[in-house]
Amino acid sequence: MKTTNSTKLKKLLFALLLVPFLLPAQEAQQGPMFMNVMLTAHSSKISEFEAGLAAHNKKYHAEGASSVSVFWISSGKNSGKYIWSMGPTSWSAMDEANNPDPAHAADWNTNVAPYAKSTMETTFWKNDLKHSNFTKDFQLKNLSIFMLDMKRFKQRQFMTVLDQVYDVFKAKDPDHQWGVYFNELSNMDGQDMVWVDFFDKSAWMGKEDKFPQWFEEVHGPGTFMNFLTDFENSTNGDTQELWVFRGDLSGSSGEVQGRQ
């Protein structure tokens, strides 16, 4: 079939539209992926749900690419829900995960699904190692989730903002552990990137916010207001949640290995 000029033009325009999305992804150091499923237990069946979930994860999701960590959401509109997080994994490993053996599927359908609501949300997150800070081994306990909605075609500008934020915390709080993750799929839900702070005690939440001061100490006097402008121009908004690691419900041990 002969290709018309109109068809060629459409292909060219489509390729140009993809450029802002592809470049940051190509430049970022590739990291492992996590599959997160948000689950809601029936309010009258929480004990049964947790018992079934714990047994299932410890039997089928205790190690390897199918290892699962469970978190309980303790703030925001999703309070009381659970995050079933499988990983670190990869897209290639998902082929096996999507086709479990019959006994695996039957266990979930019999001991977990009946006690959970049918509505759920599944997202896939790729760890951006370049902007993360895993410098030592630690145990999962509390997570501060800071999720951002990037503006369309402003990804390159946003990556500059992210570079600046990383430089500040790397210089001023290098012993703290954090992870940066990008959503693998496009969405209209404000879930494009997430910065995850890992901390042990809730007192960490009450620490004085020195970021504006730290920013100008790292990037120079008078730079913080320009940073806020760039941040505003490249994002639509943000959402924050607090998660608590539930080792009793997880298949994984919750141990995170540092990377140098």
pLDDT in tens, 158-196: 999 999 999 999 999 999 999 999 999 999 999 999 999
pLDDT of 95 reads 85
The pLDDT, as a whole number, for residue 1 is 45
- Residue 104 inside a domain? The answer is yes
Mean pLDDT, residues 20-34 taken together: 57
Q: Is residue 173 part of a domain?
A: yes
Question: Cα 250 to the chain's mean position, in Å?
Answer: 18
Lowest-confidence region among 18-27, 81-90, 122-131, 203-212: 18-27
Q: Is residue 13 part of a domain?
A: no
Residue 16 lies inside a defined structural domain of this protein: no
Instruction: Report the relative pairing of strands 142-150 and 193-199 from DSSP bridges.
Output: antiparallel
Which of 95 and 229 is assigned the larger pLDDT?
A: 229
Percent of the chain with pLDDT over 90: 83
Predicted local distance difference test score (pLDDT) of residue 31: 81
26: pLDDT confidence band, cut at 50, 70 and 90? very low
5-9, 45-49, 145-149, 224-228: which has the minimum mean pLDDT? 5-9
Whether the per-residue pLDDT at 28 is higher than 80: the answer is: no
5 has pLDDT over 80: no
3-class DSSP state of 184:
coil
Domain CATH for 202 = 3.30.70.100
pLDDT value of position 198? 98
Candidate from 21-25, 121-125, 156-160 with smallest mean pLDDT: 21-25
Average pLDDT, the chain: 90
Number of domains in the chain: 1
Any idea what DSSP says for residue 128?
A: -
The total number of residues shown for the chain amounts to 260
What is the pLDDT, as a whole number, of residue 25?
41
Domain that includes residue 120, residue range: 25-256
Q: Indicate whether 16 pLDDT > 80.
A: no
Q: Indicate whether 14 belongs to any domain.
A: no
| Rg of the chain taking only CA atoms, in angstroms | 21
Lookup result for tokens 């949640």: 241
Any domain includes 3: no
Task: Please tell me the predicted confidence (pLDDT) of residue 4.
Answer: 52
114 in a domain, yes or no?
yes
pLDDT at 21 over 80: no
pLDDT in tens, 85-100: 999 999 998 887 777 7
Q: What are the distances in angstroms from CA 127 to CA 111, 158, 207?
A: 31, 17, 26
In a domain, 10, yes or no: no
